[in-house]
Amino acid sequence: SLWQTAADVWLVVFAVTFLVTRCGMYPYIVWSAAVEALEFVDNSNDPRAYFGGRYLFDEMIAIGLLGVLAVLQFFWAYLLLKVVWKAVQGGHAEDNRSDDEDDDPAEDTAARKKD
């Protein structure tokens, strides 16, 4: 249908935007925070500085969290590309996540045994 085609086109547009910004530009931001920031911040006189006076502990935590987010974004990009590939191959992109968070296989088994 027309709406499904429009949805698939917008999915591809979103995927390209996501890949360019999150997988292309964001790693540079992480690198810049870890490397280029040293040109502007001098922690050499701070007794709390690590790695030869370069980083403070909170800076290391922040850069580490930026790195974790980068890894997550690459994982999300992988999932997104799987959905886009399916849509491009002629299938339709669909949300496979469960709507019911209360599903517990143990409860289902117990309910069947009662019947």
Residue 6: enclosing H or E segment and its boundaries?
helix 2-18
Residue 93: enclosing H or E segment and its boundaries?
none
The predicted-structure confidence for 31-66, as pLDDT tens digits, reads as follows 998 888 777 776 666 666 666 556 677 778 888 999
To which residue do tokens 């886009």 refer? 84
d(CA 104, CA 109): 9
d(CA 61, CA 37): 15
The predicted-structure confidence for 74-98, as pLDDT tens digits, reads as follows 999 999 998 888 888 877 666 666 6
Phi, psi of 89 (to 5 degrees): -75, 0
**How do the domains of the chain map onto residue ranges?**
2-93
